[in-house]
Amino acid sequence: MRKLVRKGVEELVPYPPGKPIEELERELGIKGSIKLASNENPLGPSPLAVQAVMDKVSTLNRYPDGSGYYLKSKLSEKFNIPSGQIVLGNGSNELIELIIRTFMSSGDHAIQPFPSFLVYEKIVTGAGGDMTSVSLSNLSIDLKGILNAITPKTKVIFICNPNNPTGGAISKDEMIQFLREIPGDIIVVLDEAYCEFVTDEKTANGIDLLDEHPFLCVLRTFSKLYGLAGLRIGYGFASEMVVEYMNRVRQPFNANTLAQAAATAALDDSAFVHRTLQVVREGLHYLCHNLDEIGVQYIPTQTNFFLIKVPGGGKRVYELMLKQGVIVRSMDSYDLPDYIRISVGLPEENERFIETLRKVI
Ligand SMILES: Cc1ncc(COP(=O)(O)O)c(C=O)c1O
């Protein structure tokens, strides 16, 4: 079998298959647990998106619109970027994969900061590529280190801004400088899954940077701010030429009918966006204030999640909290064993988190 699988696949481990909450509760004999582990929107999905899904359900006998016409038109209008520079994906995860399948061949090289979003390495390795991971410096992305890691075989560079799991962001000035130093024959993937949560005005915004590098791909998602993680819909901006090549490789119906309708409606849901940002900002304020009071260190964030340094190690705290019905993320696989990562929840969830943390440490 080893000989049969593609180069790189042997080294991969499957994504840890989490159990449904109901099953976990049954095993632990608890009820009413809360999940703060996956940077999701605690308010649920955008109500306008839910209505759009209901309205479309009766058309499910038809294939989706493979061109994503309405959603791309709406994105084009909102961001003032031509539809020909927009590509849709089954979550931005699929767009990462599509970029690799379009541009990387077996034996090509890619670079990522580490720790960052774990999917980059999985996809590159699974495609037979070689990934160089450049360690963060003081928990910030080391742009100089990434530039130094470029080789003649480098095809793709990943930058996650703000970075998952650290929550820190790169400024516009730093990013422009960085992009200008990257050779023009490398694809730069700028993953902005959390950009809407950013409060620091100096932070880079990929849409303003598309002219700074010929092969810049800016990726975004409806999973976080709009609460549509379960529907799987993401979008990307790049040059028309890059998008044209990605469309050659893309499955024609990768963005499903309900996801397209929901995302189109969600873009108009300014009340929901406003509420989400308010819940996240107020929640962060509450959580940080209480962590200060407990005397636990945390990393300042530009997102809806953040890292907390916990005495006794992240895995132990994760396990103890799980038994109390509070699901957080331990950071062992990100090589940050002293930390847990939590996403900001509803006020009552944040209170429960703080209460439980006090108990377990
Ligand atoms: C940095 C980053 N990029 C991309 C994604 C994937 O988003 P999607 O749900 O659109 O596939 C996530 C999800 O957690 C993420 O953290």
Q: Is residue 8 in a domain? A: no
Q: For residue 219, give the 3-state DSSP assignment.
A: strand
Whole-number pLDDT of residue 8: 84
Whole-number pLDDT of residue 17: 63
CATH number at residue 134: 3.40.640.10
Q: Reduced to 3 DSSP states, what percent helix, strand and coil does the chain have, rounded to the nearest 5?
A: 45, 15, 40
Decide: 92 in ligand 1 pocket, CB within 6 A.
Answer: yes
Ligand 1 center–CA 118 separation, angstroms: 10
141 and 258 housed in the same domain: yes
Give the whole-angstrom CA distance, residue 285 versus residue 355.
Answer: 16
Q: Which residues of the chain have pLDDT under 70?
A: 16-18
Decide: 193 in ligand 1 pocket, CB within 6 A.
Answer: yes
Q: Which of 246, 266, 286 is the last residue of a domain?
A: 266
22-59, pLDDT tens digit by residue? 888 998 899 999 999 999 999 999 999 999 999 999 99
Q: Is residue 1 in a domain? A: no
346 and 210 housed in the same domain: no
Q: Which of 204, 237, 266 is the last residue of a domain?
A: 266
What domain range includes position 249?
47-266
Residue minimizing CA distance to atom 13 of ligand 1? 193
Q: Within 10 A of 303 (CB to CB), how many other CB atoms are there?
A: 26
Decide: 303 in ligand 1 pocket, CB within 6 A.
Answer: no
Decide: 163 in ligand 1 pocket, CB within 6 A.
Answer: no
Ligand 1 center–CA 94 separation, angstroms: 10
Whole-number pLDDT of residue 2: 81
156 and 239 housed in the same domain: yes
168 and 282 housed in the same domain: no
Decide: 118 in ligand 1 pocket, CB within 6 A.
Answer: no
Mutate to test the pocket of ligand 1, among 87, 116, 221, 331 (most ligand atoms within 8 A of CB): 221
Task: Report the domain count for the chain.
Answer: 2
34 and 71 housed in the same domain: no
137 and 189 housed in the same domain: yes
Give the whole-angstrom CA distance, residue 38 versus residue 74.
Answer: 28
Tell me the pTM: 0.97
Decide: 164 in ligand 1 pocket, CB within 6 A.
Answer: yes
Q: Is residue 3 in a domain? A: no
Ligand 1 center–CA 220 separation, angstroms: 8
All residues at 6 or more sequence positions from 233 whose CB lies less than 8 Å from its CB, including other chains: 88, 89, 90, 91, 221, 222, 223, 255, 256, 259, 260, 262, 263
CB 146 within 8 A of CB 170: no
Distances in Å between the Cα of 228 and the Cα atoms of 147, 165, 336 are: 35, 20, 28
Q: Which of 266, 296, 313 is the last residue of a domain?
A: 266
